[in-house]
Amino acid sequence: MNQWDIFLAPYKQAIDELKIKLKGIRKQYEREGKSSPIEFVTGRVKPIPSIIEKANQRGIQFDKLSEEMYDIAGLRMMCQFVDDIDIVVELLKNRKDFEVVEERDYIKDTKESGYRSYHVIVKYPIETLDGQRFILAEIQIRTLAMNFWATIEHTLRYKYDGDYPPEIQHRLERAAEAAYLLDEEMSEIREEIKEAQKYYTEQRSELR
């Protein structure tokens, strides 16, 4: 094992555990026949080149990475509706297996780029051979529309290094507006959609 593998092992452990736990919330809703505020969950350990680049940009010393880089362990929880995000944040805050230590509401305070999401930083205990250790993890909570926009923008940002040609910049702004309007429209017909989903789930279980 090299130094990076040793350093990242506890983050991998935290992500594996948290993915199971957060996906478990959706399963509980399903078991109770309730519509879930969580559509799906993803998680990743930050790639090593990305850790190095961010540390260099921010002037973070390598022995301070665990305290100062919050997103080495990162999770995303995708929701259908904007209102589901508040429900998910409350669920996270009420849990006893980790502590929410910071919140960033980029839905109320949309970023200049057009980025919207709700971020929480959690302090999660893992058990190791040397005892308990706390790992910071970033959980991004967003709608499917917010996720679509952010995923595309992230890919383009990588290609253009954040310095977009005006045409692309303009398109991204329009796409952010469209994603916002999609969320608004879906919220308007939320109850209708939820009833249709419940009907569909019931029909499917009758067929089984």
Ligand X SMILES: Nc1nc2c(ncn2[C@@H]2O[C@H](COP(=O)(O)OP(=O)(O)OP(=O)(O)O)[C@@H](O)[C@H]2O)c(=O)[nH]1
Ligand Y SMILES: Nc1ncnc2c1ncn2[C@@H]1O[C@H](COP(=O)(O)OP(=O)(O)OP(=O)(O)O)[C@@H](O)[C@H]1O
Q: Which is nearer to ligand Y, 76 or 116 (CB)?
A: 76
Which residue's Cβ has the minimum distance to ligand Y? 74
β-strand partners of 131:
128
Cβ–Cβ contacts within 10 Å for residue 15, how many? 22
Our CA angle for 48, 49, 54, nearest 5°, is 100
β-strand partners of 42:
76
β-strand partners of 151:
none
State which of residues 8, 14, 22, 74 lies at the interface with ligand Y (CB under 6 A): 74
Which residue in 67, 90, 138, 188 is the catalytic one? 138
Stretch touching ligand X by CB under 6 A, among 5-13, 24-32, 110-118, 178-186: 110-118
| Distance in angstroms (rounded) separating the CA atoms of residues 117 and 141 | 6
Which run of H or E residues covers position 11? helix 3-31
Local structure of residue 115 (DSSP, 8 states): -
Q: Please confirm, yes or no, whether 138 is among the known catalytic residues.
A: yes
CA distances from 197 to 113, 126, 189 (A): 34, 37, 12
The item of ligand Y, ligand X, none sharing an interface with residue 107, based on CB under 5 to 8 Å by kind, is: none
State which of residues 27, 34, 64, 111 lies at the interface with ligand X (CB under 6 A): 111
The item of ligand Y, ligand X, none sharing an interface with residue 79, based on CB under 5 to 8 Å by kind, is: none
In the range 57-76, which residues lie near ligand X by CB under 6 A? 71
State which of residues 38, 46, 78, 142 lies at the interface with ligand Y (CB under 6 A): 46
How many residues touch ligand Y under the rule CB under 6 A: the total is: 14
| Distance in angstroms (rounded) separating the CA atoms of residues 196 and 152 | 30
Q: List residues near ligand Y by CB under 6 A.
A: 42-44, 46-47, 50, 54, 71, 74-76, 138, 140, 154
Q: List residues near ligand X by CB under 6 A.
A: 71, 104, 111, 113, 115, 119, 150, 153-154
